[in-house]
Structure 1
Amino acid sequence: MTTEGQVLLYGWPGGPEAPLVAAGPRALHRLLAWTSPSFPIGAFSYSHGLEQAIEDGTVGTAETLAGWIGGVLRFGAGRTDAGFAVRAARQAQAGDMAGLVETAIVSSALTPAGERALEARQQGRSFLEAVARGWALNEAADLAARLDAAEVPATLPIAAGACGGWAGLPEDMLIEAFVHAFAANLVSAGVRLVPLGQTDGQRVLAALGPVIGAVAAAARAGPEAAPGGAAILADIAALRHETLYSRLFRS
Protein backbone atom coordinates (compact mmCIF):
# COMPACT_ATOMS: atom_id res chain seq x y z
CA MET A 1 0.00 0.00 0.00
CA THR A 2 1.41 3.37 -1.00
CA THR A 3 1.54 6.01 1.72
CA GLU A 4 1.53 9.76 1.20
CA GLY A 5 5.19 9.82 2.23
CA GLN A 6 6.06 7.26 -0.45
CA VAL A 7 4.15 9.31 -2.99
CA LEU A 8 6.26 12.35 -2.18
CA LEU A 9 9.55 10.40 -2.26
CA TYR A 10 9.08 8.04 -5.17
CA GLY A 11 6.51 9.62 -7.48
CA TRP A 12 2.78 9.46 -7.94
CA PRO A 13 1.10 6.04 -8.13
CA GLY A 14 0.05 5.10 -11.62
CA GLY A 15 2.88 6.98 -13.34
CA PRO A 16 3.25 10.60 -14.42
CA GLU A 17 -0.18 10.70 -16.08
CA ALA A 18 -2.05 9.82 -12.88
CA PRO A 19 -3.92 12.63 -11.07
CA LEU A 20 -1.70 14.37 -8.55
CA VAL A 21 -4.50 14.11 -5.96
CA ALA A 22 -4.32 10.30 -5.98
CA ALA A 23 -3.03 10.24 -2.39
CA GLY A 24 -6.32 11.63 -1.08
CA PRO A 25 -5.40 14.90 0.69
CA ARG A 26 -7.03 15.52 4.04
CA ALA A 27 -9.41 18.38 4.73
CA LEU A 28 -6.86 20.43 6.67
CA HIS A 29 -4.31 19.98 3.90
CA ARG A 30 -6.76 21.31 1.31
CA LEU A 31 -7.82 24.19 3.52
CA LEU A 32 -4.26 25.30 4.19
CA ALA A 33 -3.38 25.07 0.51
CA TRP A 34 -6.48 26.91 -0.75
CA THR A 35 -6.06 29.80 1.71
CA SER A 36 -2.28 30.06 1.38
CA PRO A 37 -0.74 33.28 -0.03
CA SER A 38 0.91 31.03 -2.62
CA PHE A 39 -2.42 29.78 -3.98
CA PRO A 40 -2.44 31.14 -7.55
CA ILE A 41 -5.32 33.63 -7.47
CA GLY A 42 -3.20 36.80 -7.49
CA ALA A 43 -4.40 38.08 -4.11
CA PHE A 44 -1.04 39.80 -3.55
CA SER A 45 -1.89 42.19 -6.42
CA TYR A 46 -4.80 43.82 -4.60
CA SER A 47 -5.01 46.17 -1.61
CA HIS A 48 -8.80 46.61 -1.44
CA GLY A 49 -8.42 50.40 -1.48
CA LEU A 50 -5.85 50.34 1.33
CA GLU A 51 -3.18 51.87 -0.88
CA GLN A 52 -5.33 54.99 -1.29
CA ALA A 53 -5.95 55.19 2.47
CA ILE A 54 -2.20 55.09 3.07
CA GLU A 55 -1.60 57.68 0.35
CA ASP A 56 -4.15 59.97 2.04
CA GLY A 57 -2.48 59.53 5.44
CA THR A 58 -5.52 57.86 6.99
CA VAL A 59 -3.44 54.74 7.64
CA GLY A 60 0.19 55.14 8.63
CA THR A 61 0.86 53.08 11.76
CA ALA A 62 0.27 49.56 12.98
CA GLU A 63 -2.61 50.83 15.12
CA THR A 64 -4.38 52.65 12.28
CA LEU A 65 -3.80 49.67 9.98
CA ALA A 66 -5.45 47.36 12.50
CA GLY A 67 -8.36 49.78 12.88
CA TRP A 68 -8.86 50.09 9.12
CA ILE A 69 -8.78 46.36 8.45
CA GLY A 70 -10.97 45.67 11.46
CA GLY A 71 -13.58 48.07 10.07
CA VAL A 72 -13.48 46.40 6.65
CA LEU A 73 -13.93 43.02 8.31
CA ARG A 74 -16.83 44.08 10.54
CA PHE A 75 -18.72 46.38 8.21
CA GLY A 76 -17.41 45.83 4.67
CA ALA A 77 -16.32 42.98 2.45
CA GLY A 78 -15.21 40.83 5.38
CA ARG A 79 -18.79 40.63 6.60
CA THR A 80 -20.52 40.33 3.25
CA ASP A 81 -18.05 37.91 1.67
CA ALA A 82 -18.14 35.63 4.71
CA GLY A 83 -21.93 35.48 4.39
CA PHE A 84 -21.75 34.67 0.70
CA ALA A 85 -19.12 31.98 1.35
CA VAL A 86 -21.42 30.29 3.90
CA ARG A 87 -24.36 30.36 1.49
CA ALA A 88 -22.21 28.97 -1.32
CA ALA A 89 -20.81 26.18 0.86
CA ARG A 90 -24.27 25.07 1.95
CA GLN A 91 -25.70 25.27 -1.56
CA ALA A 92 -22.79 23.22 -2.89
CA GLN A 93 -23.30 20.55 -0.24
CA ALA A 94 -27.00 20.43 -1.14
CA GLY A 95 -26.23 20.13 -4.85
CA ASP A 96 -28.11 23.38 -5.52
CA MET A 97 -26.27 24.64 -8.62
CA ALA A 98 -29.12 26.99 -9.58
CA GLY A 99 -28.95 28.53 -6.12
CA LEU A 100 -25.20 29.00 -6.50
CA VAL A 101 -25.71 30.91 -9.73
CA GLU A 102 -28.27 33.17 -8.04
CA THR A 103 -25.93 33.81 -5.12
CA ALA A 104 -23.12 34.59 -7.54
CA ILE A 105 -25.34 37.19 -9.24
CA VAL A 106 -25.99 39.00 -5.96
CA SER A 107 -22.37 38.76 -4.83
CA SER A 108 -21.09 40.23 -8.08
CA ALA A 109 -23.67 43.03 -8.05
CA LEU A 110 -22.67 44.23 -4.57
CA THR A 111 -19.04 45.08 -5.36
CA PRO A 112 -18.93 48.88 -4.88
CA ALA A 113 -16.19 49.95 -7.31
CA GLY A 114 -14.75 48.92 -10.65
CA GLU A 115 -11.42 47.76 -9.27
CA ARG A 116 -13.13 46.01 -6.37
CA ALA A 117 -15.23 44.14 -8.92
CA LEU A 118 -12.06 43.19 -10.79
CA GLU A 119 -10.51 41.99 -7.53
CA ALA A 120 -13.45 39.78 -6.56
CA ARG A 121 -14.10 38.40 -10.04
CA GLN A 122 -10.53 37.74 -11.14
CA GLN A 123 -9.70 35.94 -7.91
CA GLY A 124 -12.92 33.96 -8.03
CA ARG A 125 -12.30 32.75 -11.56
CA SER A 126 -8.68 31.92 -10.75
CA PHE A 127 -9.79 29.98 -7.67
CA LEU A 128 -12.17 27.81 -9.66
CA GLU A 129 -9.54 27.14 -12.33
CA ALA A 130 -6.83 26.30 -9.79
CA VAL A 131 -9.08 23.88 -7.90
CA ALA A 132 -10.45 22.27 -11.05
CA ARG A 133 -7.07 21.76 -12.69
CA GLY A 134 -4.77 21.35 -9.73
CA TRP A 135 -7.05 19.42 -7.38
CA ALA A 136 -9.27 17.60 -9.90
CA LEU A 137 -12.50 18.95 -8.40
CA ASN A 138 -14.88 18.54 -11.32
CA GLU A 139 -17.64 20.54 -9.68
CA ALA A 140 -15.44 23.66 -9.84
CA ALA A 141 -15.15 23.35 -13.61
CA ASP A 142 -18.90 22.72 -13.85
CA LEU A 143 -19.70 25.86 -11.86
CA ALA A 144 -17.33 27.93 -14.00
CA ALA A 145 -19.06 26.66 -17.15
CA ARG A 146 -22.55 27.37 -15.77
CA LEU A 147 -21.58 30.89 -14.73
CA ASP A 148 -20.07 31.52 -18.16
CA ALA A 149 -23.26 30.32 -19.82
CA ALA A 150 -25.32 32.67 -17.65
CA GLU A 151 -22.78 35.50 -18.17
CA VAL A 152 -22.31 35.78 -14.40
CA PRO A 153 -18.86 36.45 -12.90
CA ALA A 154 -17.51 34.07 -10.29
CA THR A 155 -16.56 36.09 -7.21
CA LEU A 156 -14.03 34.77 -4.70
CA PRO A 157 -16.45 34.05 -1.81
CA ILE A 158 -18.69 32.04 -4.12
CA ALA A 159 -15.78 30.06 -5.53
CA ALA A 160 -14.12 29.39 -2.17
CA GLY A 161 -17.35 28.58 -0.37
CA ALA A 162 -18.64 26.25 -3.08
CA CYS A 163 -15.35 24.38 -3.46
CA GLY A 164 -15.07 24.02 0.30
CA GLY A 165 -18.59 22.61 0.43
CA TRP A 166 -17.92 20.12 -2.36
CA ALA A 167 -14.65 19.06 -0.73
CA GLY A 168 -16.42 18.46 2.58
CA LEU A 169 -14.29 20.93 4.51
CA PRO A 170 -15.61 21.68 8.03
CA GLU A 171 -17.67 24.83 7.68
CA ASP A 172 -16.33 26.56 10.79
CA MET A 173 -12.75 26.06 9.67
CA LEU A 174 -13.51 27.00 6.07
CA ILE A 175 -15.16 30.33 6.84
CA GLU A 176 -12.68 31.43 9.49
CA ALA A 177 -9.77 30.51 7.23
CA PHE A 178 -11.37 32.44 4.36
CA VAL A 179 -11.78 35.59 6.49
CA HIS A 180 -8.28 35.15 7.92
CA ALA A 181 -6.76 34.92 4.42
CA PHE A 182 -8.53 38.15 3.42
CA ALA A 183 -7.27 39.96 6.53
CA ALA A 184 -3.75 38.56 6.17
CA ASN A 185 -3.54 39.80 2.58
CA LEU A 186 -4.48 43.32 3.70
CA VAL A 187 -1.92 43.18 6.51
CA SER A 188 0.73 42.12 4.00
CA ALA A 189 -0.21 45.04 1.74
CA GLY A 190 -0.01 47.43 4.69
CA VAL A 191 3.42 46.13 5.72
CA ARG A 192 4.71 46.88 2.24
CA LEU A 193 2.98 50.21 1.72
CA VAL A 194 3.28 52.06 5.06
CA PRO A 195 5.92 50.52 5.40
CA LEU A 196 5.93 48.49 8.61
CA GLY A 197 8.23 45.82 9.94
CA GLN A 198 7.26 42.17 9.82
CA THR A 199 6.86 42.09 13.59
CA ASP A 200 4.39 44.99 13.46
CA GLY A 201 2.52 43.09 10.76
CA GLN A 202 2.23 40.08 13.04
CA ARG A 203 1.05 42.32 15.90
CA VAL A 204 -1.72 43.61 13.66
CA LEU A 205 -2.74 40.14 12.54
CA ALA A 206 -2.76 38.87 16.13
CA ALA A 207 -4.93 41.80 17.22
CA LEU A 208 -7.41 41.00 14.44
CA GLY A 209 -7.88 37.41 15.60
CA PRO A 210 -11.01 38.04 17.72
CA VAL A 211 -12.55 40.12 14.91
CA ILE A 212 -11.90 37.39 12.36
CA GLY A 213 -13.49 34.79 14.61
CA ALA A 214 -16.51 36.98 15.34
CA VAL A 215 -17.12 37.80 11.67
CA ALA A 216 -16.91 34.12 10.70
CA ALA A 217 -19.22 33.05 13.52
CA ALA A 218 -21.80 35.73 12.67
CA ALA A 219 -21.80 34.68 9.02
CA ARG A 220 -22.47 31.07 9.95
CA ALA A 221 -25.20 32.02 12.41
CA GLY A 222 -27.12 34.18 9.96
CA PRO A 223 -26.27 33.35 6.34
CA GLU A 224 -29.71 34.45 5.15
CA ALA A 225 -29.29 37.95 6.59
CA ALA A 226 -29.59 40.67 3.98
CA PRO A 227 -26.13 41.23 2.47
CA GLY A 228 -24.57 44.66 2.48
CA GLY A 229 -22.00 46.75 4.27
CA ALA A 230 -21.36 50.18 5.68
CA ALA A 231 -17.59 50.59 5.26
CA ILE A 232 -18.12 53.93 3.53
CA LEU A 233 -14.56 55.25 3.81
CA ALA A 234 -13.16 51.99 2.45
CA ASP A 235 -15.54 52.16 -0.50
CA ILE A 236 -14.56 55.76 -1.21
CA ALA A 237 -10.88 54.82 -0.98
CA ALA A 238 -11.46 52.02 -3.49
CA LEU A 239 -13.16 54.47 -5.88
CA ARG A 240 -10.43 57.07 -5.54
CA HIS A 241 -7.71 54.45 -6.04
CA GLU A 242 -8.90 54.02 -9.61
CA THR A 243 -7.37 57.40 -10.49
CA LEU A 244 -4.30 57.25 -8.22
CA TYR A 245 -1.40 58.22 -10.49
CA SER A 246 1.42 56.06 -9.10
CA ARG A 247 0.52 52.79 -7.40
CA LEU A 248 1.69 49.27 -6.64
CA PHE A 249 -1.65 47.46 -6.36
CA ARG A 250 -4.55 46.82 -8.71
CA SER A 251 -7.20 47.87 -6.19
Structure 2
Amino acid sequence: MSDATELSALLRLMAWLSPAFPIGSFAYSGGLERAVHDGLVRDASDLQAWLSAVVDHGALWNDCVLLGEAHRAARDALGLAACAELAEALAGSRERHQETMLLGEAFLTAASAWPKVTAAISTAVAYPVAVGATASVHGIGCEQAVAAYLHAFVSQGVSAAIRLGVCGQKDGVAVIAAMERLVAGTAERAACSTLDDLGSATIQADIVSLRHETQRVRLFRS
Protein backbone atom coordinates (compact mmCIF):
# COMPACT_ATOMS: atom_id res chain seq x y z
CA MET A 1 0.00 0.00 0.00
CA SER A 2 1.42 3.39 -1.02
CA ASP A 3 1.81 6.29 1.39
CA ALA A 4 -1.02 8.15 -0.35
CA THR A 5 -3.32 5.12 -0.06
CA GLU A 6 -2.44 4.65 3.61
CA LEU A 7 -3.16 8.32 4.26
CA SER A 8 -6.55 8.04 2.52
CA ALA A 9 -7.38 4.98 4.62
CA LEU A 10 -6.44 6.83 7.80
CA LEU A 11 -8.52 9.86 6.86
CA ARG A 12 -11.55 7.70 6.12
CA LEU A 13 -11.28 5.81 9.40
CA MET A 14 -10.92 9.11 11.26
CA ALA A 15 -14.07 10.40 9.55
CA TRP A 16 -16.19 7.25 9.85
CA LEU A 17 -15.37 6.55 13.50
CA SER A 18 -15.19 10.11 14.74
CA PRO A 19 -17.67 11.23 17.44
CA ALA A 20 -18.74 13.86 14.91
CA PHE A 21 -19.80 11.29 12.31
CA PRO A 22 -23.63 11.60 12.20
CA ILE A 23 -24.75 8.18 13.41
CA GLY A 24 -26.03 9.17 16.87
CA SER A 25 -23.62 7.04 18.91
CA PHE A 26 -23.64 9.72 21.65
CA ALA A 27 -27.16 8.56 22.56
CA TYR A 28 -26.05 5.10 23.70
CA SER A 29 -24.08 3.82 26.69
CA GLY A 30 -24.19 0.06 26.06
CA GLY A 31 -25.55 -0.58 29.55
CA LEU A 32 -23.01 1.64 31.30
CA GLU A 33 -25.74 3.97 32.55
CA ARG A 34 -27.37 1.12 34.46
CA ALA A 35 -24.00 -0.05 35.78
CA VAL A 36 -23.46 3.43 37.21
CA HIS A 37 -26.99 3.49 38.62
CA ASP A 38 -26.39 0.13 40.35
CA GLY A 39 -23.06 1.25 41.83
CA LEU A 40 -20.95 -1.10 39.73
CA VAL A 41 -19.01 1.76 38.12
CA ARG A 42 -18.21 4.59 40.54
CA ASP A 43 -14.92 6.09 39.40
CA ALA A 44 -12.31 6.09 36.63
CA SER A 45 -10.74 2.87 37.88
CA ASP A 46 -14.09 1.07 37.76
CA LEU A 47 -14.74 2.53 34.33
CA GLN A 48 -11.46 1.21 32.94
CA ALA A 49 -12.13 -2.23 34.39
CA TRP A 50 -15.66 -2.24 32.94
CA LEU A 51 -14.62 -1.15 29.46
CA SER A 52 -11.65 -3.53 29.46
CA ALA A 53 -13.85 -6.50 30.33
CA VAL A 54 -16.37 -5.69 27.58
CA VAL A 55 -13.58 -5.30 25.02
CA ASP A 56 -11.60 -8.36 26.05
CA HIS A 57 -14.37 -10.80 26.97
CA GLY A 58 -17.74 -9.27 26.13
CA ALA A 59 -19.96 -7.95 23.39
CA LEU A 60 -17.22 -5.79 21.90
CA TRP A 61 -15.01 -8.81 21.34
CA ASN A 62 -17.85 -10.41 19.41
CA ASP A 63 -18.25 -7.17 17.45
CA CYS A 64 -14.58 -7.36 16.51
CA VAL A 65 -14.89 -10.95 15.30
CA LEU A 66 -17.98 -10.04 13.26
CA LEU A 67 -16.25 -6.97 11.85
CA GLY A 68 -13.38 -9.19 10.71
CA GLU A 69 -15.77 -11.69 9.12
CA ALA A 70 -17.61 -8.89 7.29
CA HIS A 71 -14.26 -7.50 6.15
CA ARG A 72 -13.36 -10.85 4.56
CA ALA A 73 -16.84 -11.40 3.08
CA ALA A 74 -17.38 -7.89 1.71
CA ARG A 75 -17.42 -9.07 -1.90
CA ASP A 76 -19.29 -12.31 -1.19
CA ALA A 77 -22.99 -11.46 -1.06
CA LEU A 78 -24.06 -14.75 0.54
CA GLY A 79 -21.22 -14.74 3.07
CA LEU A 80 -21.90 -11.15 4.03
CA ALA A 81 -25.63 -11.82 4.40
CA ALA A 82 -24.89 -14.76 6.70
CA CYS A 83 -22.54 -12.61 8.79
CA ALA A 84 -25.17 -9.87 9.02
CA GLU A 85 -27.83 -12.36 10.12
CA LEU A 86 -25.55 -13.78 12.81
CA ALA A 87 -24.58 -10.33 14.07
CA GLU A 88 -28.22 -9.36 14.49
CA ALA A 89 -29.05 -12.65 16.23
CA LEU A 90 -26.22 -12.19 18.75
CA ALA A 91 -27.62 -8.93 20.12
CA GLY A 92 -28.22 -9.84 23.76
CA SER A 93 -31.12 -7.52 24.57
CA ARG A 94 -33.75 -5.37 22.90
CA GLU A 95 -31.72 -2.23 23.46
CA ARG A 96 -28.50 -3.75 22.16
CA HIS A 97 -30.34 -4.94 19.07
CA GLN A 98 -31.78 -1.47 18.57
CA GLU A 99 -28.38 0.13 19.10
CA THR A 100 -26.37 -2.03 16.70
CA MET A 101 -29.01 -1.97 13.95
CA LEU A 102 -29.73 1.76 14.11
CA LEU A 103 -26.03 2.62 14.24
CA GLY A 104 -25.37 0.32 11.30
CA GLU A 105 -28.14 1.90 9.26
CA ALA A 106 -27.01 5.42 10.13
CA PHE A 107 -23.40 4.55 9.35
CA LEU A 108 -24.26 3.31 5.87
CA THR A 109 -26.39 6.39 5.20
CA ALA A 110 -23.65 8.79 6.27
CA ALA A 111 -20.87 6.82 4.58
CA SER A 112 -22.73 6.81 1.26
CA ALA A 113 -20.81 10.02 0.54
CA TRP A 114 -18.06 7.57 -0.40
CA PRO A 115 -19.56 5.78 -3.49
CA LYS A 116 -17.87 2.42 -2.85
CA VAL A 117 -20.01 1.89 0.23
CA THR A 118 -22.99 0.82 -1.86
CA ALA A 119 -20.84 -1.85 -3.52
CA ALA A 120 -20.65 -3.73 -0.22
CA ILE A 121 -24.07 -3.47 1.43
CA SER A 122 -27.50 -2.48 0.18
CA THR A 123 -29.60 -3.18 3.29
CA ALA A 124 -29.46 -2.26 6.97
CA VAL A 125 -27.06 -4.43 8.96
CA ALA A 126 -25.50 -4.44 12.42
CA TYR A 127 -22.92 -1.75 13.08
CA PRO A 128 -19.73 -3.91 13.07
CA VAL A 129 -20.81 -5.57 9.82
CA ALA A 130 -21.36 -2.18 8.19
CA VAL A 131 -17.95 -0.93 9.30
CA GLY A 132 -16.10 -4.11 8.34
CA ALA A 133 -17.54 -4.40 4.85
CA THR A 134 -17.17 -0.69 4.14
CA ALA A 135 -13.54 -0.70 5.26
CA SER A 136 -12.82 -3.73 3.11
CA VAL A 137 -14.14 -2.30 -0.16
CA HIS A 138 -12.05 0.80 0.47
CA GLY A 139 -8.88 -1.25 0.85
CA ILE A 140 -8.52 -0.56 4.57
CA GLY A 141 -6.87 -3.33 6.54
CA CYS A 142 -8.92 -5.38 8.99
CA GLU A 143 -6.62 -4.74 11.95
CA GLN A 144 -6.72 -0.99 11.38
CA ALA A 145 -10.51 -1.01 11.06
CA VAL A 146 -10.95 -3.02 14.28
CA ALA A 147 -8.54 -0.75 16.15
CA ALA A 148 -10.44 2.35 15.06
CA TYR A 149 -13.76 0.71 15.95
CA LEU A 150 -12.53 -0.18 19.43
CA HIS A 151 -11.04 3.26 19.99
CA ALA A 152 -14.39 4.80 19.08
CA PHE A 153 -16.14 2.51 21.56
CA VAL A 154 -13.74 3.37 24.38
CA SER A 155 -13.99 7.08 23.63
CA GLN A 156 -17.78 6.92 23.61
CA GLY A 157 -17.76 4.98 26.88
CA VAL A 158 -15.58 7.61 28.49
CA SER A 159 -17.79 10.39 27.13
CA ALA A 160 -20.87 8.67 28.56
CA ALA A 161 -19.14 8.21 31.92
CA ILE A 162 -18.25 11.90 32.07
CA ARG A 163 -21.87 12.84 31.40
CA LEU A 164 -22.95 10.39 34.11
CA GLY A 165 -20.63 12.05 36.63
CA VAL A 166 -18.30 9.04 37.02
CA CYS A 167 -15.15 10.99 36.24
CA GLY A 168 -13.87 14.24 34.81
CA GLN A 169 -12.25 14.87 31.46
CA LYS A 170 -8.69 14.49 32.76
CA ASP A 171 -9.37 11.07 34.28
CA GLY A 172 -11.39 10.11 31.21
CA VAL A 173 -8.46 10.81 28.90
CA ALA A 174 -6.24 8.80 31.23
CA VAL A 175 -8.59 5.82 30.80
CA ILE A 176 -8.31 6.09 27.01
CA ALA A 177 -4.51 6.21 27.26
CA ALA A 178 -4.39 3.26 29.67
CA MET A 179 -6.49 1.12 27.33
CA GLU A 180 -4.34 1.75 24.27
CA ARG A 181 -2.36 -1.49 24.62
CA LEU A 182 -5.52 -3.57 25.10
CA VAL A 183 -7.15 -1.97 22.05
CA ALA A 184 -4.10 -2.67 19.89
CA GLY A 185 -3.76 -6.24 21.13
CA THR A 186 -7.45 -6.97 20.64
CA ALA A 187 -7.35 -5.56 17.11
CA GLU A 188 -4.39 -7.79 16.27
CA ARG A 189 -6.15 -10.84 17.73
CA ALA A 190 -9.45 -10.07 16.00
CA ALA A 191 -7.81 -9.64 12.60
CA CYS A 192 -6.77 -13.31 12.76
CA SER A 193 -10.06 -14.55 14.25
CA THR A 194 -12.81 -16.71 12.76
CA LEU A 195 -16.43 -17.17 13.76
CA ASP A 196 -15.25 -20.03 15.98
CA ASP A 197 -13.77 -17.34 18.25
CA LEU A 198 -17.17 -15.81 19.04
CA GLY A 199 -18.15 -15.92 22.69
CA SER A 200 -18.48 -13.69 25.73
CA ALA A 201 -18.28 -14.03 29.50
CA THR A 202 -19.48 -10.68 30.82
CA ILE A 203 -22.72 -11.76 32.44
CA GLN A 204 -22.99 -8.67 34.62
CA ALA A 205 -22.76 -6.40 31.59
CA ASP A 206 -25.49 -8.39 29.87
CA ILE A 207 -27.70 -8.17 32.95
CA VAL A 208 -27.39 -4.39 33.29
CA SER A 209 -28.19 -4.00 29.60
CA LEU A 210 -31.45 -5.84 30.24
CA ARG A 211 -32.13 -3.89 33.44
CA HIS A 212 -31.67 -0.59 31.61
CA GLU A 213 -34.79 -1.34 29.58
CA THR A 214 -36.93 -0.73 32.69
CA GLN A 215 -34.97 2.22 34.07
CA ARG A 216 -37.41 5.09 34.37
CA VAL A 217 -34.99 8.05 34.45
CA ARG A 218 -32.23 7.89 31.89
CA LEU A 219 -29.87 9.91 29.72
CA PHE A 220 -29.13 7.18 27.17
CA ARG A 221 -31.07 4.84 24.92
CA SER A 222 -29.09 1.79 26.05
Mapping for residues 133-148 of structure 1, pairs under 5 Å? 134-139=113-118, 143-145=121-123
Which residues of structure 2 form unaligned runs of 5+?
1-6
> Following TM superposition, where does structure 1 have runs of at least 4 consecutive aligned residues deviating by more than 4 angstroms?
none
1:103 & 1:243 partners in 2: Cα distance? Answer: 30
Amino acid aligned to 1:57: G
- CA drift at 1:85: 0.6
Q: Structure 1 residue 85 and structure 2 residue 56: aligned? A: no
- CA drift at 1:138: 4.7
Q: Structure 1 residue 200 and structure 2 residue 171: aligned? A: yes
Aligned twin of 1:122: 102
Amino acid aligned to 1:62: A
Choose which of 29, 33, 40 in structure 2 pairs with 1:51. Answer: 33
Aligned twin of 2:217: 246
Kindly report the root-mean-square deviation, in angstroms, between the aligned alpha carbons of the 2 structures: 1.4
1:39 & 1:82 partners in 2: Cα distance? Answer: 20
1:119 & 1:206 partners in 2: Cα distance? Answer: 26
Q: Structure 1 residue 104 and structure 2 residue 75: aligned? A: no
Q: What SS does the corresponding residue of 1:136 show, helix, strand or coil?
A: coil
For residues 33-74 of structure 1, the C-alpha deviation after alignment (integer angstroms, 9 at most, x for no partner) is 011001111110000000000001110100000000111111
Mapping for residues 131-210 of structure 1, pairs under 5 Å? 131-132=111-112, 134-139=113-118, 143-145=121-123, 153-210=124-181
Asked if the contact 1:144/1:154 (under 8 Å) is kept, the reply is no
Aligned twin of 2:3: none
1:226 & 1:234 partners in 2: Cα distance? Answer: 19
- CA drift at 1:139: 2.5
Give the share of equivalent positions with the same residue, in percent. 40
Amino acid aligned to 2:118: E
Q: Structure 1 residue 70 and structure 2 residue 48: aligned? A: no
Aligned twin of 1:19: none
Asked if the contact 1:76/1:230 (under 8 Å) is kept, the reply is yes
For residues 117-166 of structure 1, the C-alpha deviation after alignment (integer angstroms, 9 at most, x for no partner) is 0010000011111112x2223535x6234xxxxxxx51000000000000
Amino acid aligned to 1:89: H
Choose which of 167, 180, 183 in structure 2 pairs with 1:212. Answer: 183
Q: Bigger radius of gyration, 1 or 2?
A: 1
Amino acid aligned to 2:203: I
Which residues of structure 1 form unaligned runs of 5+?
1-24, 146-152
Asked if the contact 1:139/1:166 (under 8 Å) is kept, the reply is no
Amino acid aligned to 1:118: Q
1:203 & 1:29 partners in 2: Cα distance? Answer: 25
2:117 & 2:61 partners in 1: Cα distance? Answer: 29
Q: TM-score, normalised by structure 1?
A: 0.83
2:178 & 2:196 partners in 1: Cα distance? Answer: 27
1:240 & 1:63 partners in 2: Cα distance? Answer: 23
Amino acid aligned to 1:143: I
Amino acid aligned to 1:235: D
